[in-house]
Chain A
Amino acid sequence: MNSTSCFRNLCAGFFLMALISGCSEEVSRPLLQVGEKAVPFTLELTGGQQSQLEHYAGKGLVITFMSSWCPCSNESLPLMKQAHATHKDAPVAFLMVGIQDSRSNFENFVKKWNVPFPAGYDKNDHIAKDYGVSSPPTTFFIDKNGIVKRAFYGNIAKKPDEFQQWVKEIIE
């Protein structure tokens, strides 16, 4: 086989692979924006139940996208747990969504941190795509009317006071 036909065969092989992998891509939906209604989702929780946006109607929701391998996710979790404990009786819920990760690693991460609020693995990052999340950790603050009041990108442990304030904002 000469180099030209080798080049041609290599290209054909890779294009075929690209075509096959491209078939699994879904049609995109509009991205979430601050000030707009939160995008409905269905998330399978680690316990096997399903969580949907409608379940949180009438109360605030802090939804955080995290990955087990992400240092900032690991640093953010203690503050998240603390806020959850502080606002246990308030009309606000916390939800963790595992993204850019394997299911088993994410489930181990939830166990390791003994996460006290619902957590679920976002298969193929569908919810993350709808919410326009490119990197973990990203946290959204959704009010009781389902409006996204705020989005925070990065390590929330660096903004502990603001975090408490933002949780209070969606409770009021």
Chain B
Amino acid sequence: MNGGMALWGGFSSFFSIWQVCILQISPFFIAFIAGSYLATPDQKTDRGIFRWFIPSFIAYGASFTVLYSLLIASGLTISRPLIGNIGSLRIASGILILLVGLYILLVNRMPFLSKMHRPLLLSVLSLIIGATFAIIYSPCITPMLSDIMGLASQRNTANEGWYLAFFYGLGISIALCMTSLALILLFRGRGIILRNAGLIKNVCGIILLALAFMNMTGLMRHYKAFVLGFVL
């Protein structure tokens, strides 16, 4: 297996039966992107969309991929404290997601938040969302991920496993960002979306608050069991 194969493995897992597992994060990322989009003044032009969202997708992909691969590579010394403290990290992630959710809810209501709403801030928020989603995501073990985890868990092959996990995570990120971009392009210019922009944005914020709540209280595992229960 090489990096390209791992990238394809992660990417294709998003569009297969394993999507059920990625439902742990995908609706919430889409809520974040859709909420951010509807809060963005420069939302109607292609240039505006790309200026606001392409850096965000890159920031999300970078932080998600790095943390996801480190959490897979249990054989690496640097990963051990992360995996060992995953419970605390999930609670911290819940707090950060809560703040992002509140931001989405309140950005057009509070003047100081409206002033802060710039492409750079959106990229920073995406960086945070990427890191937190890598922490809260407990991946389903696809056959390819099984092999990667086998390599990544042993000290003598941990670097190779981490490298492959990096590309696997990158594949998932690319698929998720592509889906979100497609959604934004679908939103653009739709009268019904624009007329209900406030309501949709609020729903997106509330969805993120629900995710924050599930992570802070440990209910996330029940959510995972619920979505995966449909496969059985």
24 pairs of residues in contact across A and B, judged by CB atoms under 8 Å: A7-B110, A18-B91, A18-B95, A21-B91, A21-B217, A28-B84, A33-B74, A33-B153, A34-B154, A34-B155, A69-B224, A71-B231, A72-B140, A100-B221, A129-B86, A132-B84, A134-B72, A134-B83, A134-B138, A134-B139, A154-B146, A154-B149, A155-B141, A155-B146
Query: B216 → chain A, closest Cβ, in Å?
Result: 5
Q: Does B88 contact A (CB under 8 A)?
A: yes
- The answer to whether B83 and A155 touch across the interface, beta carbons within 8 angstroms, is no
B109 in contact with A29 (CB, 8 Å): no
Q: Which residues of B contact A151 (CB under 8 A)?
A: 150, 153
Asked whether A14 and B98 contact (CB < 8 A) given A25-B87, A101-B225, the answer is yes
Do B145 and A153 touch (CB < 8 A)?
Answer: yes
Total residue contacts A-B, CB cutoff 8 A: 120
In the complex, chain B residues whose CB is within 8 Å of the CB of A26: 87
Chain B residue nearest in CB terms to A153: B149
**Cβ of B139 to closest chain A Cβ, rounded Å:** 6
**Interface residue B207 (Cβ < 8 Å from any Cβ of A):** no
Please judge, given known A-B contacts A3-B106, A28-B84, A71-B232, whether A135 and B138 are in contact too, CB under 8 Å. yes
Which residues 7-28 in A have Cβ within 8 Å of B in the complex?
A: 7, 10-11, 14-15, 17-18, 21-22, 25-26, 28
The reply to whether B153 and A34 contact each other, CB–CB distance below 8 Å, is yes
Name B's interface SS. Answer: helix
A7-B110, A21-B218 known; A100-B98 Cβ under 8 A: no
Inter-subunit contact B143/A30 (CB<8 Å):
no
Q: Does A158 contact B (CB under 8 A)?
A: yes
Q: A14-B212, A15-B95 are in contact. Are A132 and B83 (CB under 8 A)?
A: yes
Given A17-B216, A71-B232, also A158-B153 (CB < 8 A): no
A152 at the interface (CB under 8 A from B): yes
Q: How many residues of B contact A (CB 8 A)?
A: 47
160-190 of chain B: CB within 8 A of chain A: none
The minimal Cβ–Cβ distance linking B113 to chain A, given in whole angstroms, is: 9
Instruction: Say yes or no: B139 contacts A28, CB within 8 Å.
Output: no
Say whether B80 faces chain A, with CB atoms less than 8 Å apart. Answer: yes
- Residues of A with C-beta under 8 A to B98: 14, 18
CB contacts (< 8 Å) of A134 on chain B: these are 71-72, 83, 86, 138-139
Residues of A within 8 A of B (CB): 3-4, 7, 10-11, 14-15, 17-18, 21-22, 25-26, 28-31, 33-35, 67-72, 74, 100-102, 105, 129, 132, 134-135, 137-138, 151-155, 158
Q: In this assembly, does B45 line the interface, its C-beta being within 8 Å of a C-beta of chain A?
A: no
B146–A29 CB distance below 8 A: no
Asked whether A69 lies within 8 Å of B225 as measured between CB atoms, the reply is: yes
A74-B232, A158-B146 in contact; A132/B95 too (CB < 8 A)? no
Task: Name B178-228 residues within 8 Å CB distance of A.
Answer: 212-213, 216-218, 221-222, 224-225, 228
Are B225 and A100 interface neighbours, CB within 8 A? Answer: yes
Complex-state Cα separation, A35 to B140, whole angstroms = 25
Contacts A30-B84, A31-B83: A70 and B109 contacting too (C-beta < 8 A)? no
